Amino acid sequence: MVGDIHGSKGFPDSRVDVRNVAAVAALFSVDYPEPDYSPNCDIVYDRKINMKDIVAVARR
């Protein structure tokens, strides 16, 4: 499910909630190939974790 990064136990839980928004926001401004980059948080998949990704998760 798009935007379902992880749930309370660290695995996707079939819900998109504030935990998922927080997971993407925590990596705000991280770009590929930085070590903290996570393709799971790059919802728009432009190799940048930015407001587009946060908004995409928040809309779901």
Alpha carbons 27 and 42: distance in angstroms, whole number: 9
> Which residue in this structure is represented by tokens 């798009």?
2
E strands in the chain: none
pLDDT of amino acid 59 = 94
- Give the pLDDT band of residue 8 (cuts 50, 70, 90): confident
- Give the pLDDT band of residue 9 (cuts 50, 70, 90): confident
pLDDT digits (tens, 9 = 90+) for 11-52: 888 999 999 999 999 999 999 999 999 999 999 999 999 999
Parse the chain into domains and list their residue ranges: 18-59
pTM above 0.85, yes or no: yes
Cross-strand bridge partners of residue 31:
48
Contact indicator for 14, 4 with CB cutoff of 8 Å: yes
